[in-house]
Structure 1
Amino acid sequence: MVSQFGSLGYTIMGKTADLTVVQKTIIDTLHKEGKPQTFIAKEAGCSHSAVSKHVNRMLSGRKRCTTNREDRSLITIVKQNRFKNLSELHKEWTEAGVKASRATTHRRVKEFGYSCHIPLVKPLLNHRQCQRRLTWAKEKKNWTVTQWSKDLFSDESKFCISFGNQGPRVWRKGGEAHSPSCLKSSVKFPRSVMTWGAMPSAGVGPLCFLKTKVTAPVYQEILEHFMLPSADQLFEDADFIFQQDLAPAHTAKSTKSWLNVHGDGVLDRPANSPDLNPIENLWGIVKRKMRNKRPKNADELKATVKEIWATIPPQQCHKLITSMTCRIDAVIKAKGAPIKY
């Protein structure tokens, strides 16, 4: 494609000398259009540093095209919905009567400390659930790492063959990653396998791949054939506390009866609280290690998960268990809201 400025013939080869009037005009015109400086340098026939210096001098001596009040109105738009893209922000801002380019909109947002990120995914908590988490955390506030090391944390997790796109990005400042307005609600993905696993401080137990929906009878079979062997392997004859979430199959009367018969103490954690279960982080580690792997079918997916799970060292499990004291403090500080773990 021939540049609209190509006929001017002011290309300077090699080291850039002082910019000509025509080059300055080219730079000014393209900068107002929001073109990147690399593109501007090529069109003007000068170095990137020459463009950068000219733009900086131009900005330092030029009156801002928006007022402080207009700038604040843009930030209000950002805060109202953190998931709007730049074009939507620019459209809403200019529809309010502000005369600014799309590039100016981007600069103003960045000036206030916002940058665009892929949002973290956290469960949506209501007020009652936050209060339950806060009460639970206060009850465990004085627990030591030794006490947490006696817990056998368990959970199910879904592993996907297709990873899909990551959806819209979110505008946030540093330290706002876990702010409720910046979080994305978790969703379920197709083409996947469900697994059950358990871990204490000593390492991981055997994985169970689930073929059917987890009903109470199915869950009790998992406990019989996977949880008990894991406990025998990892705790030997020492006492332990089994920790599970509040899924219907876990809290069914028949499951409670099964646990009572087998003499296993159970420590239920609050609902919608994956951040209070270290095994969730372990699932995350496995999934990150799978990013460069693309299994073609369910059998390959299971083999990959099992292979990576077996490489988790006991030191990694112990490190996650020791984080429980920090998690408890964080929940109390956040008054029951989601925390960074």
Structure 2
Amino acid sequence: MPRVPAHLRERALGMLQGGMRTADVARAINCHVRTVRRLRQRYRETGRTADHPRSGRPRVTTPAQDRYIRISHLRDRYRMATTTARVTPGTHNPSISAQTVRNRLREAGLRACRPVVRQVLTRHHQQQRRLWAQTHLRWTRQEWQKVLFTDESRFCLTRGDGRIRVYRRRNERYTEACTLERDRFGGGGSVMVWGGISHHHRTELVVTAGNLNALRYREDILLPHVVPFMHAHPDMILQQDNATSHTARSVREFLHDSNVSVLPWPAKSPDLNPIEHVWNLLDRRVRARAIPPRNVQELAGALVEEWGNISQQELTNLVQSMRRGCTAVLQAAGGHTRY
């Protein structure tokens, strides 16, 4: 009997019991008359409208092999399906196919996904992140409103799309086993920018030529942009990460002499800085433009324009997420978070 959905079988049976002709029922559910007749005959014999059990294709792996496939990929999330297929004999063949491995993993809730790339976190980094989150979890909204979050970011004209995949279950995206730790890098033409955001304000987006060392950070960023902003808002605190250009003695002395308060910051914690989300938003806005940038000059202009188009409410919402970020760090015991 051809496959007829269960709801149409019940509908057809009701029509037959209501006195409709077989041909009319077949026309109503768009199937052959013989199909309706067999449906009625099966209901008379079994009291059911479902198909008889079908054997289907014999399974090529045993339950023990299914467990081996699942455990192998749970132990090594980057293990390739072709590797497992090569070392797993089938019940009828010398080996099984890679698609069979993927099917078994899918049955176990494991799917091949792109890994989330995060920086390397040592045990010391995790401990410092946890302590920082415990301290600042008690901060009020008013205290977070006084922080100017700053950072640099590099935007590339082109982006690479690696073919690395990781097998994971739902809600495992940010677990340690499913996260690819890698130092940041970019290729091709690129633009380096600096910016700062707070609950009520933002700085201008500064386009810099090349990388920032301590001298250039002091002369090109702090002196013309940060110090005037902080003096205009004397109750604000500067947040910056622990890049060498930020922690150099000359920079620390300059900030001290300029009466700029600096928020202590745990190393390798971009997920705690809400401006990271602004960079992602900025990247999406630039790439979604009707005419994408074709060179670094156009890329720089597009970044500055889109920076000004981001609403202050979006920035405010990101700053207000700091408490949730601290909670996420504590729940991850100082490890990677979805932020």
Normalised by the length of structure 1, the TM-score is 0.77
In the alignment, residue 239 of structure 1 is paired with which amino acid?
A: D
Contact preservation (8 Å) 1:203, 1:315: no
116-125 or 284-293, which deviates more? 284-293
Q: Secondary structure at the residue paired with 2:307?
A: helix
Partner residue of 2:133? 137
Relative distance call for 1:196 and 1:98 in structure 2 (3 A) is: farther
Partner residue of 1:275? 271
In the alignment, residue 267 of structure 2 is paired with which amino acid?
A: A
Provide the C-alpha distance between the structure 2 equivalents of 1:333 and 1:240, rounded to a whole number of angstroms. 29
* Structure 1 position 116, deviation (Å): 1.8
163-172 or 188-197, which deviates more? 163-172
- The structure 2 residue matched to 1:193, chosen from 170, 191, 194, is 191
Partner residue of 1:5? none
Provide the C-alpha distance between the structure 1 equivalents of 2:107 and 2:297, rounded to a whole number of angstroms. 50
* Structure 1 position 68, deviation (Å): 2.4
In the alignment, residue 162 of structure 1 is paired with which amino acid?
A: T
Q: Which runs of 5+ in 2 are unaligned?
A: 1-29, 34-49
Partner residue of 2:308? 310
- The structure 2 residue matched to 1:128, chosen from 124, 131, 148, is 124
Q: Are 1:246 and 2:242 an aligned pair?
A: yes
Q: Secondary structure at the residue paired with 2:154?
A: strand
Provide the C-alpha distance between the structure 2 equivalents of 1:98 and 1:150, rounded to a whole number of angstroms. 67
* Structure 1 position 75, deviation (Å): 1.3
Q: Are 1:89 and 2:89 an aligned pair?
A: no
Partner residue of 1:289? 285
Partner residue of 1:328? 326
Q: How does 1:176-255 map to 2 (within 5 A)?
A: 176-186=172-182, 187-190=184-187, 191-221=189-219, 222-231=221-230, 236-255=232-251
* Structure 1 position 296, deviation (Å): 1.6
* Structure 1 position 152, deviation (Å): 0.4
Contact preservation (8 Å) 2:87, 2:95: no
Q: Are 1:108 and 2:104 an aligned pair?
A: yes
- The structure 1 residue matched to 2:297, chosen from 289, 296, 299, is 299
Provide the C-alpha distance between the structure 2 equivalents of 1:155 and 1:216, rounded to a whole number of angstroms. 14
In the alignment, residue 91 of structure 1 is paired with which amino acid?
A: R
1:62-120 CA distance string (max 9 Å, x none): 6643232211110122123322343333224349x985343322211001111122221
In the alignment, residue 269 of structure 1 is paired with which amino acid?
A: W
Provide the C-alpha distance between the structure 1 equivalents of 2:211 and 2:100, rounded to a whole number of angstroms. 52
In the alignment, residue 79 of structure 1 is paired with which amino acid?
A: L
Relative distance call for 1:147 and 1:112 in structure 2 (3 A) is: same
Relative distance call for 1:111 and 1:193 in structure 2 (3 A) is: same
In the alignment, residue 200 of structure 2 is paired with which amino acid?
A: A
Relative distance call for 1:58 and 1:82 in structure 2 (3 A) is: farther
Counting aligned pairs with the same residue, the percent is: 32
- The structure 1 residue matched to 2:66, chosen from 68, 71, 82, is 71
Contact preservation (8 Å) 1:66, 1:99: no
Normalised by the length of structure 2, the TM-score is 0.78
1:269-296 CA distance string (max 9 Å, x none): 1111100100011101111223335322
* Structure 1 position 224, deviation (Å): 1.1
Provide the C-alpha distance between the structure 2 equivalents of 1:162 and 1:62, rounded to a whole number of angstroms. 46
Partner residue of 2:253? 257
Provide the C-alpha distance between the structure 1 equivalents of 2:53 and 2:257, rounded to a whole number of angstroms. 79
In the alignment, residue 62 of structure 2 is paired with which amino acid?
A: T
Larger radius of gyration: 2
Please provide the CA RMSD for this pair: 2.7
Relative distance call for 1:98 and 1:247 in structure 2 (3 A) is: farther
Provide the C-alpha distance between the structure 1 equivalents of 2:68 and 2:105, rounded to a whole number of angstroms. 11
323-332 or 199-208, which deviates more? 199-208
282-291 or 83-92, which deviates more? 83-92
Partner residue of 2:44? none
* Structure 1 position 17, deviation (Å): 6.2
* Structure 1 position 143, deviation (Å): 0.7
Q: Which runs of 5+ in 1 are unaligned?
A: 1-14, 19-52
In the alignment, residue 200 of structure 1 is paired with which amino acid?
A: S
Query: How many equivalent pairs are there?
Result: 289
